[in-house]
Structure 1
Amino acid sequence: MDSGLILLIFLAFLFAWGLNRLRRAVRLGPIAYAGIMVVFILVMLALWGQTFR
């Protein structure tokens, strides 16, 4: 396990927590919520992939 991956997992949990609070405030539907999570995961994987180049 490298520290970058641990940091990404921590950021993902933080993002999910923040998104949950935002979702309650804005009343996002499940489709919008899933879309945001998919985009976030793709961005995180892209950033993590960059660390190996």
Structure 2
Amino acid sequence: MLYIRSEVQALLQCKKLLKIADKHGWDTVRKYNEHPLADNDIDAAKLCSAIARANWL
């Protein structure tokens, strides 16, 4: 059961990254993945920062 739960979490993370890439591009995903992030308000702030950095390049 633990294995299935970890696989579901991995698929959800992959889906999240694909949504970010679709909307903001793969450069943003690369910046987003540079640091481990939590799914909370801090995560949202870091994503906005990653989007800004990717658009700056």
Normalization by structure 2: what TM-score? Answer: 0.44
Normalization by structure 1: what TM-score? Answer: 0.47
| Relative contact order higher in (CA < 8 Å, ≥ 6 apart) | 1
